[in-house]
Amino acid sequence: MKRFYTILLVLLTLGQFCNAQQNPTKVYVKVDGQDTGLGTGGFFTNPISPDQLMNNVYNGMYSGDVEIYFA
């Protein structure tokens, strides 16, 4: 029984390490994009303008790794 719990603990711990790795935040920017929001919805839903991107970066709206896609 002790062996079963040890193996279970190891598997749960490894699962937590795998889930801790998050995908980077993707930010979509277009010249004629919106001046509100985060721009994380995609090119067709709510891309943001370059000015809004700079405001979001300056205000610390993004955390972790960020990938910026320009159209």
CA 35 to chain centre: 20
Strand partners, 70: 29
Q: What is the tens place of the pLDDT at every residue in 10-21?
A: 887 776 766 655
Q: What is the tens place of the pLDDT at every residue in 6-58?
A: 888 888 777 676 665 567 888 899 888 888 877 887 667 789 999 999 998 88
**pTM of the complete model beyond 0.85:** no
Contact between 25 and 40 under an 8 Å Cβ cutoff? The reply is: yes
Strand partners, 34: 48
